[in-house]
Amino acid sequence: MDERAALALLSGELDAAGDDAAIVDDLVVTTDMLHERTDFPNGTTQYTAGWRAVGASLSDVAAMGAEASAAVAAYAVPEFTRADLLAFVRGASDVCDLVGAEYVGGDLDGHDEFTVATTAIGRLADDPVTRGGASTDELVCVTGTLGRSAAALEFFERGDAERANDLFRFEPRIAAGRALAARATAMMDSSDGLARSLHQLGEASDCGFAIESDRIPIHDSVRAVTDTDDDEDALERATTFGEDFELVATVPESELDAVREATAVPVSVLGTVTAREDGITMDGTELEDRGFTHG
C-alpha cells in the first residue's frame, strides 16, 4: 500500500481526517513528520530545518483559515549538539513569530536519521474552510508564487546552499488564509503541488477546474534554474513539484476584490471552477494528477 492509499484508508476511518488539519471544537490541529532522506537535502541548515518543519504545519493551519496559536516539535538526531539544537529552535521560533504563534518546544529523541515531527494548533475565528465547498463558475486562485522549493532543490544540488536555504524558508500564509477565510468556498495548501492540489480540491468539492498556464505565478528563482527559453520546464516545476506551501482557494468572483484588499500577499486567479465531468484542464487539455504526496 503506498502513502496515498494509506491516507485514503485513514480518511475513511477517522471523521476528522482528510483535510489539511483536523477540527476539534474551535481548534485546528495538524501534524507532519519530515526526515533527512526525503525532506532535508544536503546543505539544509538546522535553522532552515526548524523553520521549514514548523512552517509546514503552520501552512496547514493557514489552509483552514485559522489563526495560528502554537507549535511543538519532536526533534530526533543521532547526536545532539548545542549549536544545532539552538539553531533548530531559533528557526522554529522565528517562523512562529512571523505568524503570531508561540513555539512551545517539544521532545528530543535519539534516532539514526535526523527526523522532525511538528504539530501546529490554530484557533478558528470564522467557520473553517475545508476542501469541499467549491461551486461552478467561482474563481480558483493561488497566493504568492510557485516553484520556490523546486528551485531550492536545484540550488542545493549545485552547492549554492545559501540561496537554497533562503528559498526553503517560506512564510506560512496565515494572514492570507485569514483574509480568505470568510470568503473562500474551498481551500488547501499547495504542499503536494498545484496539479495534485487541484485534483484533491476537485474530488472533495465534486468539481472540475479550467486553468490557464500563463496565469500561474512562477517564482523568479525558477528562471534561474531552467533554460530561459524553456517555458515548459519552468511550468512543469511550478505546477508539479510542490512543497511551496501557498494556498489554493476557490472564491466567488464578487469576493475577489475584498480578498485582495484584505491581504498583502498577491492572490492570482488561475481560472474557474467547472463541472466535475469537464475534468481538470490547463489551456484546455487535461492536467494530470502528478506531484508529490507528502502525507
Cβ neighbours for 290, distance < 8 A, ≥ 6 positions apart: 193, 195, 196, 240
Q: Find the shortest distance in angstroms from Cβ 267 to its own copies.
A: 28
Element (H, E) at 209: strand 207-211
Out of 58, 89, 167, 211, the residue judged to bind its own copies by CB under 8 A = 89
7 binds its own copies (CB under 8 A): yes
Q: Find the shortest distance in angstroms from Cβ 131 to its own copies.
A: 15
The answer to whether 103 touches 50, Cβ cutoff 8 Å, is no
How many residues sit in the footprint of its own copies (CB under 8 A)? 57
Is 283 flagged in the annotation as binding?
no
Q: Find the shortest distance in angstroms from Cβ 95 to its own copies.
A: 14
Cβ neighbours for 89, distance < 8 A, ≥ 6 positions apart: 50, 103, 105
Among 290, 131, 269, 129, residue whose Cα is nearest residue 210: 269
Q: How far is CA 274 from CA 137, 148, 219, 281, in A?
A: 6, 28, 27, 10
Q: Find the part of the chain contacting its own copies (CB under 8 A) among 11-19, 172-180, 194-202, 264-272.
A: 11-19
Out of 47, 103, 155, 170, the residue judged to bind its own copies by CB under 8 A = 103
125 binds its own copies (CB under 8 A): no
Backbone phi and psi for residue 2, each to the nearest 5 degrees, phi listed first: -85, 180
200 binds its own copies (CB under 8 A): no
Is 33 or 182 the residue whose CB approaches its own copies more closely?
33
The answer to whether 83 touches 123, Cβ cutoff 8 Å, is no
What is the C-alpha to C-alpha distance for residues 214 and 116, in angstroms, rounded to an integer? 37
Is 24 or 224 the residue whose CB approaches its own copies more closely?
24
Q: Residues in the site for its own copies, rule: CB under 8 A? A: 1-3, 5-7, 9-11, 13-14, 16-17, 22-25, 27, 29-35, 37-38, 69-70, 72-74, 76, 80-82, 85-86, 89, 93, 102-113, 115, 117, 119, 121, 295
Q: Which residues are annotated as a binding site for ATP?
A: 106-107, 131, 191
